[in-house]
Structure 1
Amino acid sequence: MLKIVMIMLCGIGTGYLLRNKKMSFIGRVITALIWVLLFLLGIEVGANPRIINGLQTLGLEAIVLTIAGSLGSAIFAWALWRYVCRKEAGNER
């Protein structure tokens, strides 16, 4: 745990030191790293026999949670978007 906190502090310090530099490539680097982390997570899950053997019992519950979470996120994002757009339209008058 200490190692993770130290890595985060190093990242914060590096970001603080480089805050005035223009680094337009950072977004693409972060996206690529997230894809790599997701791929590695998939490898780790696929290699774990307990998880693979338990998929039959987790299947329906996982599908329900996935659909409900995605639907809830989409509904709240849509509501927030409408709220922000309505507020911006009210400020222009």
Structure 2
Amino acid sequence: MLTIVMIMICGIGTGYLLRNKKMGAIGRIITALIWVLLFLLGIEVGGNPRIVNGLQTLGLEAIVLTIGGCAGSVLFAWALWRYVSAKEAKAHHQEGGEA
């Protein structure tokens, strides 16, 4: 656990030091790595007979939590997108009004 925390702190420090640099490819790299991690997680789950055999007994609670988590993520991502878009539109409108 300490190793994970230290890696995260190193990443935060690196990000802080490089915050003024243009790194356009970082977003694509992060997306690709997330896809790889999800794939590897799927392999790990699929290879675990205890999990695979227990899939049919997960129950309603697990399904509700999954749907609720996904719905909450979508809702808050949409709300954040609207908030950021509104801020950008307001800033753009103010810049246009001054010119």
- List per-residue Cα deviations over 1:22-80 (Å, max 9, x = no partner): 101111011011101111111111111110110110154433333343345545666x4
Q: Verify: 1:48 aligned to 2:48, yes or no.
A: yes
Equivalences for 1:27-38 in 2 at 5 Å? 27-38=27-38
Point out where structure 2 has 5 or more consecutive residues left out of the alignment.
Answer: 94-99
Equivalences for 1:9-24 in 2 at 5 Å? 9-24=9-24
Task: Name the residue aligned to 1:65.
Answer: 65
Point out where structure 1 has 5 or more consecutive residues left out of the alignment.
Answer: none
TM-score (ref. length: structure 1):
0.70
The amino acid that maps onto 2:37 is L
> How many percent of aligned residue pairs carry the same amino acid?
77
Deviation of residue 21 (structure 1)?
1.0
Task: Name the residue aligned to 2:97.
Answer: none
Deviation of residue 16 (structure 1)?
1.8
Deviation of residue 19 (structure 1)?
1.5
Task: Name the residue aligned to 2:4.
Answer: 4
Check 1:75–1:15 CA distance in 2 against 1; reply closer, same or farther (3 A cut).
closer
Paired with 1:7 and 1:67, the residues of 2 have a C-alpha distance of 31
The amino acid that maps onto 1:3 is T
User: Number of paired residues?
Assistant: 87
Indicate the larger mover: 14-23 or 38-47.
14-23
TM-score (ref. length: structure 2):
0.66
Paired with 1:77 and 1:13, the residues of 2 have a C-alpha distance of 26
Q: CA RMSD for the aligned pairs?
A: 2.8
